Amino acid sequence: MGIFGKKGKTVELEITGVTCGHCVNTVTMALEAVDGAKKAKVNLKGNALITIQEGTDPPLQELVKAVAEAGNFTAQVK
């Protein structure tokens, strides 16, 4: 089982630039908009966990790119 109680793998990112609740929401929405990303959980410490839908495998670079395009954020895979 994944971290959210559903089947599927998870990806962990380290994100810089997350400084407030609005940033958390912005990055969460950007990650969840990537095809194959089922659920994202972002916190103020700059950690993000993304549950990937079964049968899909979005490129990690797509997740990193989505974070960068959401604003003044950068991400790297942990």
The structural domains of the chain, with segments of one domain joined by +, span 10-77
Q: Which fold has domain 10-77?
A: Alpha-Beta Plaits (3.30.70)
How far is 26 from 56, CA to CA, in rounded Å?
Answer: 23
For residue 7, the model assigns a pLDDT of 58
Average confidence (pLDDT) per 10 residues, the chain, 78 residues: 56 95 97 94 94 85 96 94
For residue 54, the model assigns a pLDDT of 81
For residue 66, the model assigns a pLDDT of 97
For residue 1, the model assigns a pLDDT of 37
Closest among 58, 24, 56 to 40, alpha carbons compared: 24
Asked if 17 and 70 touch (Cβ cutoff 8 Å), the reply is no
